[in-house]
């Protein structure tokens, strides 16, 4: 790899990444800070859209696509509907926040201590880039005729994994259905008992 060109590209990636990260952190903190839950849900949508741009900067176009459709689109709609059902104002909690704060700061400090051994941003010699990824990148076109390596890995090389994920999504959908429609039926039967 040409060392000079490599350095220049690295810098611009890193700076755009950091600027978007600052926005992401601000919207994330604002989303959990506000007590109005509708505003919170809208901020979470903006947060997801910013995350999608961050994924584009970090070369994960498929993930950006999914995040933009799921996070900024459907999550916001679902959150707004359930806020409509459960009430949009959050009461002030009576619990003292000190114990969670101390726990969180301790955990965060330990995790940051753990990043000392992590590879640099975009380091080509990081362990993640040396093991299976070169195999996928080299053989995916000849073995599956699919230029998008993400799709090839998703559906072919890791087909079992995706089958599991689809089953999880299916189960979650059935769970939501059972929780909400089952509840309605139970209510109706309760009403009938009261009438008797």
21-60 positions binding another protein, by CB under 8 A:
21, 24-25, 28-29, 31-32, 37, 40-41, 44, 47-48, 51, 54-55, 58-60
Report if residue 194 touches another protein, rule: CB under 8 A: no
CB of residue 182 to another protein, shortest distance in Å: 9
What are the C-alpha distances in Å from 143 to residues 103, 161, 167? 49, 19, 27
Q: Which of 126, 166, 148 is nearest to 60 (CA)?
A: 148
Point out which residues pair with 36 in neighbouring strands: 89
CB of residue 78 to another protein, shortest distance in Å: 6
Q: Are 42 and 54 in contact (CB under 8 A)?
A: no
Report if residue 67 touches another protein, rule: CB under 8 A: yes
Point out which residues pair with 89 in neighbouring strands: 36
**65, 185, 192, 193: which one binds another protein (CB under 8 A):** 65
Q: Chain-centre distance of CA 131, in angstroms?
A: 25
CB of residue 115 to another protein, shortest distance in Å: 4
How many angstroms separate the CA atoms of 71 and 32, rounded? Answer: 16
Report if residue 190 touches another protein, rule: CB under 8 A: no
Q: Chain-centre distance of CA 158, in angstroms?
A: 20
How many angstroms separate the CA atoms of 61 and 102, rounded? Answer: 38
**160, 185, 192, 194: which one binds another protein (CB under 8 A):** 160
Nearer to another protein, 86 or 195 (CB): 86
How many angstroms separate the CA atoms of 31 and 45, rounded? Answer: 9
Report if residue 70 touches another protein, rule: CB under 8 A: yes
Report if residue 16 touches another protein, rule: CB under 8 A: no
**4, 5, 195, 196: which one binds another protein (CB under 8 A):** 5
**116, 192, 193, 194: which one binds another protein (CB under 8 A):** 116
Q: Are 5 and 50 in contact (CB under 8 A)?
A: no
**42, 46, 53, 122: which one binds another protein (CB under 8 A):** 122
């Amino acid at each position: 790899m040409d060392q000079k060109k490599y350095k220049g590209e690295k810098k611009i990636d890193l700076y755009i990444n950091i600027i978007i990260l600052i926005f992401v952190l601000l919207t994330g903190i604002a989303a959990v800070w506000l007590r109005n839950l509708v505003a919170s849900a809208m901020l979470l949508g903006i947060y997801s859209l910013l995350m999608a741009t961050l994924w584009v900067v970090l070369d994960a176009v498929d993930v950006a696509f999914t995040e933009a459709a799921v996070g900024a689109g459907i999550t916001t709609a679902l959150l707004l509907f359930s806020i409509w059902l459960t009430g949009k104002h959050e009461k002030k909690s009576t619990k003292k926040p000190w114990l969670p704060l101390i726990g969180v700061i301790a955990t965060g400090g330990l995790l940051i201590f753990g990043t000392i051994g992590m590879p640099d941003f975009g380091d080509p010699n990081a362990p993640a880039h040396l093991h299976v990824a070169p195999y996928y990148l080299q053989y995916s076109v000849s073995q599956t005729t699919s230029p998008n390596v993400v799709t090839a890995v998703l559906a072919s090389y890791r087909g079992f994994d995706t089958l599991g994920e689809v089953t999880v999504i299916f189960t979650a959908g059935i769970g939501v259905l059972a929780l909400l429609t089952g509840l309605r039926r139970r209510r109706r039967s309760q009403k009938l008992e009261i009438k008797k």
